[in-house]
Amino acid sequence: MSKAFLRDTVIGSTLDLPSGKNVTVSRWKRLWEFTGGAFVDGFKDEPLVAPKPRYHKWVDGYIADENHENTECGPPFCYGPLPDSQKHMRLLQILPGAPQDDVRCFMYSVALEDCPEYEALSYCWGNATDLTSILINGHSLDITTSLRCALFRLRKLHEPRTLWVDAICINQGDVIERGNQVSIMGDIYGHTTRTVVWLGSGGEDSKRAFKICEQLAKEAIMLESNLDPSTDNLSFPEYDKNDSCLDNLVDDCPWWRRVWIVQEIILATDALLVCGSNEIDWKVFCRAMDRLISAQLTNGVVMGLVEQEPYRWYQSIISMRSLSSTNSLGDRLLDLLIHVREREATNPCDKVFSVLGLMEGNAELMGITPDYTGSTEEVFKHTAICILKHSSTLDIIGLAPTNAKDLPSWAPSWVYEGEIPKPMRFDARGNIRATHATRGTSPHLDVREKGSVLVLSAHHIDSISDLADVLPIFDKEAGWEEIPDPDEDAGAMEWFWSAFADIGQASGHMLAITNRLRTFISWENFVGSSKDQEVPYWQTISAGCGLDDTTSMAALYHEWHASLSPIRNLVRWRVDRVTTNSLFKSLGFMGYLKSTWNSYPEFGMLIEAQAAGRRLAKTKKGSLCLVPAEAKQGDSIILAKGGRVPLVIRRLDSEENAFESWTLVGECYVHGVMNGEAFCEEDCVDIRLC
């Protein structure tokens, strides 16, 4: 098919393509003009190269460019108000069209109880400044390019498709309407026939990932039926742990990090994952992922240091499905907020509002409703107060950071700004902490001065006298996937030595890890070598994990302690302090690495769960404790009614406060007091936290 032939052919005639499909020349000519003369390989008889080729692919015989803009424009779209009488929403119909046609839609409002069948679209909004227009009811509405791409790909050829799309069906410029619609979002997702998850345009990686998931799901079904996949006609190729296609689909795809998707998936009656032209049922995908994780087919140990949680964004959604609904309302909401804390939200208030639909209508009973008219700080503070009033513990104030701006020290900020320590509400194994430092008492609190002051009933038990180094939180997403496994890659050790030859490349990974491991050795020196300090030491750095089986935990500790011998020798020889220390540190690290690559001791993982982001300390009375990184000498340790764990507080300048006031530094573990040994309810007095 030559350029001249296309240029000169009479519009309206028909071409027989090599594939056997017939396409009118009028469409070919439009495609020719649109792509600047670029056609898909195999359908041209001479080279046709556009100066700047655009992304295109075959869809039903036509060249489809999902990134092109609408050619037609209308007057700006204006939203009308939704009726106030009952629950109403808007639905969007994507009108049918061929791939080269503009995206045209029809939108109308409907009562939720009388709505027709519709699907909900779950997607990543994308760059808010990268906008393009679509036609709705003959009017132009600007939406993000990523959303237009989704609508373009989901459009049907011959019939309309009815969707609920939050960015379009909610008037984003009306904060009152937005709050009202968010408050019924649980109902909106509960009424859908299906939630369609748009993961992006995808490519060969996503196609391969979906195929692997289908194979893993079939394998899981056969294993559940006690059948051996190897004896069946189905072929299950061995999963390659170094294949990054699933990582790209799950860990690297921005959709998984969005805070709203948790509610969208959990409340969905059914769900379909779509990536480009590939799709897979959510239940099939879950079966495949569970098979992948349970069979330990993923890379879990990173450079012999820490076991990463594979596909943590996916696992977070699954774990939230099983959160107990028998807890108090405050505790349930707190657990939901903890699970979404690291997720992303354009509006920080959505960290709270996005999980209210999972409260089964009880959020309103707590006094929390979506309200976008207030500031982020007001939303966070109000949420903390409501949780405290409807909770049986003080767990929420243990999540409050010391550097949150415009918030009292006891009110958590749900804005995620990097790695944060795990809350002590849970033990090192992820279970609700069994011990209770105030003997199961209920909180006795009073909120004063327009929500700026929290008065607790508590008493002082000790103060901090000495501090050790902070154990840094290990960055699990620092590019470790390129590091080879010495058990599977014969060239792995050569890779390490070549990396060490370039200190600039090595220092960011190996030496940083060596310095981190040195923290454990410095903690040993901080505690001392006395035999009677061994048990308090391992119980403190694990924050009391395994107190019901001290024999087994002691064995795990000794295994982990032995793995640090190369680093301990490094410190003993003091070569780590040599000026040109890179090679010596590398040698110590390599000795540690060799013994722990695929068998990082379990006790080490327990430390990561509780001690990371905290520091070891001693109290004035001689107790070992695990305290916040921000703790200072002289800080007071208190036990407050309702507190599962002790709290570290710091006295505020009396000149700035008419009453004696304190700021909360954070929660802590103090050896010997975690079962209420030091709590005396009669000694409690009012303590003001600002």
What residues contact residue 217 under an 8 Å CB cut-off, 6+ apart? Answer: 284, 285, 287, 288, 291
Read off the tokens for 79.
Answer: 């939203």
Per-residue confidence (pLDDT) for residue 326, from 0 to 100: 65
pTM above the 0.85 mark?
Answer: no
Among the ranges given (7-16, 164-173, 270-279, 638-647), the one the predictor scored with the smallest mean pLDDT = 7-16
| Span of 241-245, 334-338, 602-606 with lowest mean pLDDT | 241-245
Residue 178 has pLDDT above 60, yes or no: yes
pLDDT surpasses 50 at 504: no
Please say if the pLDDT value at position 551 is more than 50.
yes
Question: Would you say residue 132 has pLDDT above 50?
Answer: yes
Measured distance CA(280)–CA(324) in Å, rounded: 29
Banded pLDDT at 574 (limits 50, 70, 90):
low
How far apart (Å, rounded) are the C-alpha atoms in residues 351 and 558? Answer: 41
- Which residue pairs from 30-36 have beta carbons closer than 8 angstroms and sit at least 24 positions apart in sequence? 30/100, 31/62, 31/63, 31/100, 32/6, 32/7, 34/65, 34/68, 34/100, 35/63, 35/65
416-469 pLDDT, tens digit per residue, is 777 789 999 999 888 899 999 999 999 998 999 888 999 999 999 999 999 999
- Selected residue with higher pLDDT from 430 and 275: 275
The amino acid at 82: L
- Write the DSSP symbol of residue 490: T
Q: Per-residue pLDDT for 23 more than 60?
A: no
Average pLDDT of span 541-561: 89
Across the strands, what pairs with 454? 447, 689
Q: Is the pLDDT of residue 339 over 70?
A: yes
pLDDT at 475: 62
Over range 161-166, report the average pLDDT. 98
Q: Which residue has the higher pLDDT, 308 or 206?
A: 206
Angstrom distance (rounded) from CA 41 to CA 651: 74
Better-predicted residue by pLDDT, 230 or 110? 110
- Nearest partner of 640 among 487, 455, 512, 502, judged by Cα: 455
- Nearest CA to 447 out of 369, 395, 384, 405 is that of 384
pLDDT at 575: 47
The pLDDT of residue 583 is 45
**Measuring CA to CA, how many Å separate 527 from each of 280, 401, 616, 617, 619?**
54, 27, 9, 9, 12
Distances (CA, A) of 637 to 436, 458, 519, 621, 678: 16, 10, 24, 11, 11
Q: How many CB atoms are located within 10 Å of the residue 370 CB?
A: 22
224-238 pLDDT per residue, tens: 877 665 544 444 455
Rank 39-48, 59-68, 248-257, 389-398 by mean pLDDT and report only the highest.
Answer: 389-398
- How far apart, in whole angstroms, are the C-alpha atoms of residue 189 and residue 170? 14
One-letter-per-residue 3-state SS of 89-128: EEEEEECCCCCCCCCEEEEEEEEHHHCCCCEEEECCCCCC
Task: Give the model's pLDDT for residue 128.
Answer: 86
* Higher per-residue confidence, 467 vs 8: 467
| Residue 470: its H or E element | strand 453-470
Question: Is 54 a residue whose pLDDT tops 80?
Answer: no
DSSP H or E segment with residue 150:
helix 145-154
pLDDT attached to residue 78: 96
Hey, what amino acid is at 80?
Answer: G
Check residues 581 and 636 and name the one with the higher pLDDT: 636
- How high is the pLDDT of residue 241? 63
Return the pLDDT at 230. 56
Average pLDDT rounded to a whole number, residues 147-154: 95
Tell me which of 460 and 19 has the higher pLDDT.
460
Closest CA to 299 of 288, 310, 289, 313: 310
For residue 491, pLDDT beyond 60: no
Q: Where are the alpha helices (DSSP H) in 420-564?
A: 492-501, 503-506, 512-527, 534-541, 550-563
* 143, 94 Cβ separation under 8 angstroms: no
Spatial contact of 157 and 97, defined as CB atoms under 8 Å apart: yes
Please compute the mean of the pLDDT values over residues 89-99 and round it to a whole number: 96
CB 206 within 8 A of CB 144: no
Give the β-pairing of 445-448 and 453-470: antiparallel
Are 672 and 461 in contact, with CB atoms under 8 Å apart?
A: no
Residue 344's beta-bridge partner residues?
A: 258
State both tokens at 214. Answer: 């289908």
Q: Where are the beta strands (DSSP E) in 112-227?
A: 119-122, 131-136, 139-144, 161-164, 194-198
Span 88-94, mean pLDDT? 97
Angle formed at CA 645 by CA 642 and CA 648, multiple of 5 degrees:
105
Given a cut of 70, is residue 1 above it in pLDDT? no
Residue 249: its pLDDT value, please? 87
Residues of the chain with pLDDT > 90, as a percent, come to 54
Taking 80 as the threshold, does the pLDDT of residue 585 lie above it? no
pLDDT reading at 687 higher than 80: yes
Give the pLDDT band of residue 661 (cuts 50, 70, 90): very high
Report residue 639 as tokens.
Answer: 């036990």
More confident residue, 505 or 645: 645
pLDDT classification of 477: cutoffs 50, 70, 90? low
The residue-averaged pLDDT of 635-653 equals 97
Query: pLDDT digit string (tens) for 281-306?
Result: 999 999 999 988 887 666 554 444 44
Exposure letters 131-158 (e unless 16+ CB within 10 A, then b):
ebbbbbeeebbebbbbbbbbbbbbbeee
What's the average model confidence in pLDDT over 376-394? 95
pLDDT value for 487: 46
Which tokens is 386 given? 């409501």
Output the pLDDT for position 71: 78
Q: Is the dihedral of CA 339, 344, 348, 350 positive or negative?
A: negative
Torsion of CA 597, 601, 604, 609, to 10 degrees: 100
Using the predicted structure, report yes or no on whether residue 392 has a pLDDT greater than 80.
yes
The rounded percent of the chain whose pLDDT value lies above 70 is 74
Measured CA to CA in angstroms, residue 289 lies from 264, 298, 481 at distances of 19, 10, 19
CA distance 16 to 33: 20
At residue 251, the pLDDT reads 80
pLDDT in tens, 134-143: 999 999 999 9
HSE-up (13 A, CA, CB side) for residue 405? 4
Averaged confidence pLDDT in the chain: 80
Tell me the pLDDT band of 549, cut-offs 50, 70 and 90: confident
Q: Residue 319 and residue 300: Cα distance in Å, rounded?
A: 19
Predicted local distance difference test score (pLDDT) of residue 573: 62
- CA 16 from chain center: how many Å? 51
Quote the DSSP letter at residue 63: E
| Residue 480 in this model has a pLDDT that exceeds 80 | no
Pairwise CA distance, residues 542 & 565, whole Å: 20
Residues 6+ apart with CB under 8 A from 180: 82, 370
pLDDT at 243 over 80: no
- Give the C-alpha distances (Å, rounded to integers) separating 513 from 179, 281, 295, 518: 46, 41, 28, 9
What are the residues whose beta carbons fall under 8 Å from the beta carbon of 237, sequence distance 6 or more? Answer: 215
Annotate 295-314 with b (16+ C-beta within 10 A) or e (fewer).
Answer: eebbbebbbbbbebebbebb
Q: How many helical (H) and strand (E) elements, i.e. helices and strands, does the chain have?
A: 23, 24
pLDDT at 8: 33
